[in-house]
Structure 1
Amino acid sequence: MTTRFGTAASRHVVSNLQKAGFEAVFVGGAVRDLLLGKVPTDIDIATSATPGQVKKVFRHTVDIGIEHGTILVLAPEPIEVTTFRTDVTYSDHRRPGEIAYTTSLKEDLQRRDFTINALAMTLDGELVDLFGGQADLEARVIRSVGNPYERFGEDALRILRALRFSAVLNFRIESETLNAMKQLAHELGHIAIERIKVEIDKLFQGVNPSKAFRYSRDIGLPSLFPELFSSFEQLERCAPFIHARHGWAAMLSIRDVSATELAHHFKLSKEEKRFLKQCEEALKLRTDRSFDELDVYYFSLDVLDVVERIRHAQYADGSIETLEQLTKRKSSLPIQTRADLAFTGTNLLEWSGLRGGKWTSEWIEKIEQAVVSGRIENDAQAIKEWFVYEISRKE
């Protein structure tokens, strides 16, 4: 196979390294994606040059991972360049505790996780495939490079990476690789939850996460780590997901935990926690009834859509609303935000003759809800008449 690969910036980096007398190739996921007919992203370069030598070739660099042989070259587009290396030891079941640089591309590729990721391409577009990666891509197979027990023993997170790739690529996992995953699945207990969460995020966004859920059961993850993977027993019926947060919301609907507990356990971001708490509230409402106009007003379309999808997956009762229907309902509301109301707090003081206080915010909310639900028109005079009448009844 011969093709022109890489962006202008990445080709510039490879070309300059070669001119300086070093071997340099494109590696990893970008090469895999090209062979799958996808537009390559996150282009990485591997080279025989050491980090110090890379820095001598290029004037503008950043030491983003120099301890592991990686330099960011600003060309001006940022390009990651990593020195060919062999991992000598693994100190924490995740990261190599010691690495050794090598000038051999083969040694560098054979330390990678799966054959489909152990691919390289030259500046001239020649594919370097030393471990049958292209054949496995064509067969839609995930297979470890070399001995799978060694690969997963070096880095237990690769077990989750295999599950993730099965979901993202909709590939099957080769039997010996799967058996090694089962035998070594307990090693995931050594992996930081932040690393696990990243893989689950990507898994949720795959085209077929159900495949990964089934493999997770095959290797015993729900029984080994129930606090992490017990939901995987039931998540299949909620898949596929429109984004990673949809997956977490589905997990919330299945597990007997609160949004706060789930967010804390998996160290979700503040934004993810906020989204889950909104989904939690909306799911409780949706259990008893369909969303009313106030629900459509207060919750974002994303929350409404996700909850409707979860409801449909769990009950398939045919009464759910599509995103298109929800969007139409939301856009047809009398107001979209409180700022759209045809009055202000100052108007309330004028109409009531009272001093300001907590009561004003309470009445603004009452009027807001009355407008949204269609009980009064969003018109200053109509609001005034309604307010004066209602407040007089409270006195």
Structure 2
Amino acid sequence: MDPCQAALSIVNALEEAGFQAYLVGGCVRDRLLGREPEDYDVCTDARPEQIQTLFPRTIATGIRHGTVTVIAGGHPVEVTTFRVEGAYRDGRRPSHVRFVRRVEEDLARRDFTINAMAVDRRGRLIDPFGGQGDLKRRVIRTVGAADDRFREDALRMVRAIRLAAQLEFTLHPETEEAIRRMAPDLARLSVERVVQELEKIWKTRRSSKAIASLFRLGMMDHLPPFRRWELPSSACLSPLTVLDEAPSRRMRWALLLHLCGQKPEEAARRLRELRLPRRDVEEIGRLYRSAASWPPILTEEEGKRRIFRDGIRFCREALELSQRLGAIDAEERLGQSEALNRWSDEMPIRRMGELAVNGKDLIDATGRPSGPWVGHTLERLADAVILGRLANDHQQLIEEGVRIGRDTTADPGDDD
């Protein structure tokens, strides 16, 4: 059973039990566009407790607001009771919900017309706000007054931008004007919710369109944490098309830092402000710093050392990012890419674990206690091997390691 069949089986079961039930929201939109939906949602007039009774496997994911997740055919499907909502006092969640009997009332609370459609198991479309027409016109328009929808949840402004990029639509003039007018409300958003939308923007083919809109409509000046940064004006921005077709998510984050005028040495601090995972902070920051300092002329020694330190895949990514940052041109990148591949193939080892000696071997051979000298010696031996000055031979490396150890002044911490 695929996700669509799972959702339809839930609709069928609800109808057979005497309830109304529809596929609703993004899955209806995507099916009308001929796209495969990422997930399916169902709305119904059945109350949450009735849904839980009807289906054997459920999760009370948002039962206070009428949502129960039903597991059907191994797929989770959110099933929500028709509802209308009270005031959004915190700019995100309604103060209360009231369950209703008509699907049209439920659709009226949704964000955009293209998301405010429902379809029953017979394929009958419920479209009270002209969503199908907006799909044909390829336009993003709010359900009802844009000010009201954005006042309820300011994140809807960012979603409008993301949907326009994702679907390659344009904003309705009234929706766009409301975003310009209400952009200061974005300051109320949490960093985590903003980042979730940016992560979705990175998955679109036209990320540049979305980021350009965030700047053009004055949204970046109010979005946390960007509003605390010194941002360039939209007129001073580098070409945003560098974001499009960037081969990795971490490259897009690095490019965004660059477009926001943030220096490589500031990357870690800015990434922490974005509340990205620690690993992302380290990897994206390292990628940005490496690309920004990439030399226009890469010597064989430097290239092999970079490959050994960072790995060939990282080096290729840093090289491409360097071109996108404008540090090198396309011809330089092509030549260096060919050289990196050739040098990688020539190298007898590409990581420290492949070296024919280890720290214990050196300690046993020299009789010295463990200390920082061990790592220093292994680094020198590995460097000699990757540059072809020593063979990756255990005996040769031991002899050279003993010599290095003998010539090296004992570290102060050796006796600790």
Q: Taking structure 2 as the reference length, what is the TM-score of the superposition? A: 0.85
Q: Does 1:78 align with 2:102?
A: no
Which among 36, 49, 53 is matched to residue 52 of structure 1?
A: 49
Q: Does 1:255 align with 2:262?
A: yes
Contact 1:338-1:368 at 8 Å conserved across structures: yes
Aligned to 1:281: 289
CA shift for structure 1 position 284: 4.5
Q: Does 1:7 align with 2:12?
A: no
Aligned to 1:126: 124
Contact 1:49-1:83 at 8 Å conserved across structures: yes
Contact 1:156-1:187 at 8 Å conserved across structures: yes
Contact 1:275-1:303 at 8 Å conserved across structures: no
CA shift for structure 1 position 29: 1.5
Contact 1:51-1:71 at 8 Å conserved across structures: yes
Distance 2:70 2:318 in 1: 44
Contact 2:25-2:116 at 8 Å conserved across structures: yes
Q: Does 1:320 align with 2:333?
A: yes
Change (3 A) 1:176 1:58: same
Contact 1:148-1:180 at 8 Å conserved across structures: yes
Tell me the secondary structure at the aligned position of residue 247 of structure 2. coil
Change (3 A) 1:283 1:367: same
The amino acid that maps onto 2:48 is: P
Aligned to 2:106: 108
The amino acid that maps onto 1:348 is: L
CA shift for structure 1 position 104: 1.1
The amino acid that maps onto 2:277 is: S
In structure 2, stretches of 5+ residues that fail to align are 410-416
Range with bigger deviation, 183-192 or 273-282: 273-282
Aligned to 2:250: 245
Aligned to 1:268: 276
Contact 2:303-2:343 at 8 Å conserved across structures: no
CA shift for structure 1 position 321: 4.9
Aligned to 2:177: 179
Q: Does 1:295 align with 2:309?
A: no
Range with bigger deviation, 120-129 or 41-50: 120-129
Tell me the secondary structure at the aligned position of residue 231 of structure 2. helix
Tell me the secondary structure at the aligned position of residue 79 of structure 1. strand
Tell me the secondary structure at the aligned position of residue 96 of structure 2. strand
Point out which structure has higher relative CO (alpha carbons under 8 A, 6+ apart). 1
Range with bigger deviation, 315-324 or 304-313: 315-324
Aligned to 2:33: 36
The C-alpha deviation readout for 1:15-54, integer Å capped at 9, x for no partner, is 1111111111111222222222222221111111111111
The amino acid that maps onto 1:171 is: F
Aligned to 2:413: none
Distance 1:63 1:145 in 2: 28
CA shift for structure 1 position 297: 2.6
Distance 2:284 2:202 in 1: 15
Range with bigger deviation, 241-250 or 175-184: 241-250
Aligned to 1:25: 22
Aligned to 2:414: none
Q: Which runs of structure 2 are paired with 1:155-234 in the superposition (5 Å)?
A: 155-224=153-222, 226-227=227-228, 230=231, 233=234, 234=237
In structure 1, stretches of 5+ residues that fail to align are none
Q: Does 1:373 align with 2:384?
A: no
CA shift for structure 1 position 259: 2.4
Distance 2:398 2:71 in 1: 62
CA shift for structure 1 position 224: 4.2
Contact 2:292-2:322 at 8 Å conserved across structures: no
Distance 1:238 1:232 in 2: 18
Structure 1 residue runs of 4 or more that deviate by more than 6 Å after TM superposition: none
Contact 2:316-2:337 at 8 Å conserved across structures: no
